[in-house]
Amino acid sequence: MFDYLRDLRKSAKQQQQEALHAYLDDALAPKARRRFEQALARDAALRARLEEARQVQYALRQLPRRPAPRNFTLDPAAYGRPQAAPLVQAYPALRVATAFTAFLFVIVLAANLFLSGGLGAGQTAVLSDAPQAPAAVAVMETEAEPIAEIAVLTEETPVEAPEEEIAQTEALAVEAAPEEAPTAAEAPALEAAAELVVTETDASAADAAAPTTRGVEPEATPAFYPAPLPEPSLFNWIHSGPLVLGILLALLAALTLAARRQS
């Protein structure tokens, strides 16, 4: 294939010159040979050039063969068993593996570039949402019981609270929630804090506690929640694939070159 591409760059004169020598050495394909013979029949100058080339070839073939000046045989005492070469035995397999990995590398790299261009924003959203979802669940779990208790208190003491007290309660609740919500193991502590809030305010404050806990809910996304690892997916693999394949390709190429050098 490379020969074909290289031939495209050659001038007609160069191509004819090469065909002339290949014809002389009987190395032309049948079709090219017929074409060259037709050109030869038409062109007297081409015939003359062919004759000159034939004479050069003839002269070179007259070069005498020199006798070997001595025997090049090896001394059996000095040379033992020929060395084994495991790498060379694996050369064909290594070559195929390198070619396949290179192909895969190109495909994955192209897919990676395509997907990161087309779906980059979506991927970012998914990745940023991933740690938040479980955190929100944890907050809901830890706060479920205090809310229930507060609701009970509200039913028992339907007294109105002053607005400053409501605000104060809200602030306490907001501060307490993110501090004590981190893990399910700390849920009892959060429960106690919520009870404390309720007991510190008077009965009418319970009315305000409900909106407080509702208000905490969207904000309760602490950054220090241990983010679970994202599920391995095709998308993630494609994202890290070029790096892995690149390393593998470099390794295989080095081994193949070493095997080739040995052979």
Partner 1 sequence: MDEAAIIKQAQRGNVAAYNRLVIHYQEIVYNVAYRIMSEPQAAEDAAQEAFISAYQALRRFRGGSFKSWLLRIVTNACYDELRRRKRRPQSSLDDLTDDNESFAFLRSPNEGPEAYQERRELVRALEHCLEALPEDQRVTAVLCDVEGFSYQEIAEITRVSLGTVKSRMSRARAKLQDCLQGFRELLPAAYRLGNETRP
35 binds partner 1 (CB under 8 A): no
Cα(232)–Cα(229) distance, rounded to whole angstroms? 9
Cα(42)–Cα(28) distance, rounded to whole angstroms? 19
44 binds partner 1 (CB under 8 A): no
Q: Which is nearer to partner 1, 209 or 259 (CB)?
A: 259
Contact 172, 193 (CB under 8 A): no
Q: Which is nearer to partner 1, 20 or 208 (CB)?
A: 20
47 binds partner 1 (CB under 8 A): no
Contact mark string toward partner 1, 86..105, x via CB under 8 A: --x-----------------
Cα(196)–Cα(183) distance, rounded to whole angstroms? 20
Compute the least distance from the CB of residue 111 to partner 1, in Å.
33
Show the 3-state SS of the chain.
CHHHHHHHHCCHHHHHHHHHHHHHCCCCCHHHHHHHHHHHHHCHHHHHHHHHHHHHHHHHHCCCCCCCCCCCCCCCCCCCCCCCCHHHHCHHHHHHHHHHHHHHHHHHHHHHHHHHHHCHHHHHHHHHHCCHHHHHHHHHHHHHHHHHHHHHHHHHCCCCCCHHHHHHHHHHHHHHHHHHCCCHHHHHHHHHHHHHHHHHCCCCHHHHHHHHHHHHHHHCCCCCCCCCCCCCCHHHHHHHHHHHHHHHHHHHHHHHHHHHHHC
Q: Phi then psi for 151, rounded to 5 degrees? A: -60, -40
53 binds partner 1 (CB under 8 A): yes
Contact mark string toward partner 1, 177..206, x via CB under 8 A: ------------------------------
Q: Which is nearer to partner 1, 36 or 105 (CB)?
A: 36
62 binds partner 1 (CB under 8 A): yes
64 binds partner 1 (CB under 8 A): yes
Q: Which amino acid is at 124?
A: T
Quick one: which of 9, 79, 117, 156 contacts partner 1 (CB under 8 A)?
A: 79
61 binds partner 1 (CB under 8 A): yes
Compute the least distance from the CB of residue 102 to partner 1, in Å.
20
Quick one: which of 51, 141, 175, 219 contacts partner 1 (CB under 8 A)?
A: 51
Compute the least distance from the CB of residue 44 to partner 1, in Å.
11
Q: Which is nearer to partner 1, 24 or 203 (CB)?
A: 24
Region 122-151 residues binding partner 1, contact defined as CB under 8 A? none
Contact mark string toward partner 1, 223..262, x via CB under 8 A: ---------------------------------------x
Question: Which residues lie near partner 1 (CB under 8 A)?
Answer: 2-3, 6-7, 14, 17-18, 20-22, 25, 27, 48, 51-53, 55-76, 79-85, 88, 262-263
